[in-house]
A = this chain, B = another copy of it.
Amino acid sequence: AVNPDLAIERQTASFSVEKLTAWLDGGEEHTRTRRAVVEAIERDPVFSRENQYFQSQNERYEAAVRKAVHLQKKMHEMGWTETGPEFKYIYRAVSGDIAFLLHRIFIRSISVLGSDKQIAKWIPLATQHKLIGSYAQTELGHGTYLQGLETTAVFDITTQEFILNTPKISAMKWWPGDMGRSATHTVVFAQLYTNGQCYGVHPFIVQIRSLRDHSLCPGITAGDIGPKMNFEHVDNGYLMLQNVRVPRENMLNRFCEVQPDGTYVRQGSQKINYFTMTTVRISLISDEVIIPLMKACTIAIRYSVVRRQSKLKPGEQEAKILDYQTQQEKLLPQLAAAYAFHFINDYLQELFNRGYGEIQKKNFETLPELHAFSSGFKALVTQYSTSAVQICLQACGGHGYSSLSGLPSLYTKIIASCIYEGENTILLLQTARFLIKCFRAASTGQAVPPSVTYLAAVKPGKCPAKNKLEFLSPDIYTEAYQHMASRLVSSTAAKLQDLIQSGVKKHDAWNQCTVQLAQAAKAHCHYITVKNFAETVEKLKTEAGIQRIMKRLCDLFALHGIFSNAGVFLHDGYISGAQMDMITASYLDLLAVIRKDAVPLVDAFDFTDKSLNSALGSYDGQVYQRLYEWAQKSPTNKQMSPAYERYLKPLLHNTQSKL
């Protein structure tokens, strides 16, 4: 039975949830495919996550390996292939708790960086799982700055081998997934030395464990790096190499090669590597960031109409906590952001597909823009979503803090996305570098990509809106964002210029502007996100109810952003204090309006109870019953703790049993 407080929320939906779901999926046939995949996975007990919150790191690793191995069988059984329509839903359906993701990166890196001969040798072995691969790039002392990697690979002409070494502790490979306990092989990135000269970082295939008994190969020290904030199911590992020899053929040599006499030869373009990083950054946004954010919103919003606390009006029943303005103000902007990011992800995919088409025609012109966009949006979306999930967790009070709510694990996982695949601040500064370059080019009349032509149009001005209703016009707020973003880019460019002209060295000047550069990059991405949301709503051809609510979410996302970053809009007077009051009024009005559709809006994300794995967020809203049932399964309730016999009994050595 559905909790009546939750049931009533669904009766008053102003649109068809089923139609919204189909539209979000990109069509009904996609919804059907997705649901079929989810159902097949969830029906299979091997993929169960029922005990996940009670498992140790060892148990979660074991389950992840079991699932990964079983998935191969399952795919075969179901007729799912890597190129089929089901594939993109599988990872989502297993909810990420699966091993051997790095095995896929291993395969991808050989496919991209390996010669045809290397591909012919290694890819079949890998795809048939005759080995388990990993990808050993990051070191204890080096993450983002790849040029600084310290592992060495010295070519020995006499044996035609590379000798790999970890010269010091900071050079130890550290963090690679699947490497701590699973992998038999890995791609090691090392500084290549041949004929006494260093040629920079190159990739080498290295076997690290025996295929017979999984023991470590000679010269290899490897293990698990221990507990983390989450990702207990992944065996992130460490690796030390001591005079480990690999044949000359094990250096991935599509783009450069060491010849038998030790001569280093570079061939072809490596620009495509650039593109691989871009791909990864864009591909993680959906599954690792937006889906978890949508789950957190679903849990927190459903719970907030079941939970009643205190009274809004004296004498009445206690109120649903979602009826409090402060609770709406916590949750509804996060819901709007989940939609905004879903749409910006579509935008990035399209940009990427267009770029990929060009690249296949050997046109690398769009690469800088693609790189700047993937970097900036990765940073914006991961940071924003991490805060959003934290807000959802805290908005559920004490029960949000229980692991059984599902929110702690969503949070401790999503926060990692701010760090992996490029630390966010560094990524924002890469976007900023692109923006400054484009701003300078545009200012001198040179051509720039269409997405940044607005940078040339900086001019002082004032927002024309005259009352709070006018701030519900996408033209008004998109213009405000555009003005703000271009002002931040141009003023930072000016500061940079001033510093250099006053004699500060270029790199020092850059460093002294980085706080503002990062802010400008974020502003740019925020602007594009708002603009894209507005355009998506504009183009939307579907039932009126969906159009109306999407328009409101877009307004909310935009006005929330102005309300929470008021300073950058007020700074030059583009928005006046009086206008900010109108924005605030419109923003708060919107909360009360959207609140009515809050539950249908999260229902449309179409998560099954199993995929939410939350005692607070299930479709039926039986929150308290479920918390109680799940708690009873905890290992802490399985038997009397040995602490009783050891410590409590001696303490309570009373003769009476009752006081």
A residues within 8 Å of B by Cβ?
A: 53-54, 56-58, 61-62, 65-66, 68-69, 125, 129-132, 138, 140-145, 148, 169-170, 172, 174-175, 180-182, 184-185, 207, 210-214, 217, 223-229, 235, 238, 307-314, 318, 323-327, 329-330, 390, 393-394, 397-398, 400-404, 408, 411-412, 415-416, 418-420, 423-425, 429, 505, 507-508, 511-516, 518, 565-573, 577, 580, 584, 588, 624-625, 627-628, 630-637, 640-644, 646-652, 654, 656-659
Contacts and interface: CB of A to CB of B under 8 A. Distances in A.
Contacts of A311: 145
> Which 7 residue pairs across A and B have the least CB separation, nearest first?
A566-B567, A226-B634, A224-B636, A212-B657, A227-B403, A229-B408, A570-B570
B419 A648 contact: no
A181 B424 CA distance: 43
Nearest to A316: B507
B429 A326 contact: yes
Contact of A641 (B181, B404, B642, B648): B181
B511 A325 contact: yes
Given A61-B636, A145-B318, A652-B184, A394 B412 contact: no
Contacts of A631: 223-226, 238
A398 B143 contact: yes
A62 B398 contact: no
Nearest to A328: B515
B419 A398 contact: yes
Contact of A185 (B141, B424, B634, B659): B659
Nearest to A181: B641
Contacts of A226: 53-54, 402-404, 630-631, 633-634, 636-637
A631 B569 CA distance: 48
A125 B402 CA distance: 33
A659 B408 contact: no
B227 A54 contact: yes
B423 A654 contact: no
A635 B58 contact: yes
Contacts of A646: 62, 66
Given A170-B624, A636-B57, A658 B580 contact: no
A207 B61 contact: no
A412 B632 CA distance: 23
A223 B424 CA distance: 43
A569 to B, nearest CB: 8
A229 B401 contact: yes
Contacts of A516: 584
B512 A212 contact: no
Contacts of A505: 313
Contacts of A184: 652
Contacts of A68: 647
A308 B145 CA distance: 10
B418 A412 contact: no
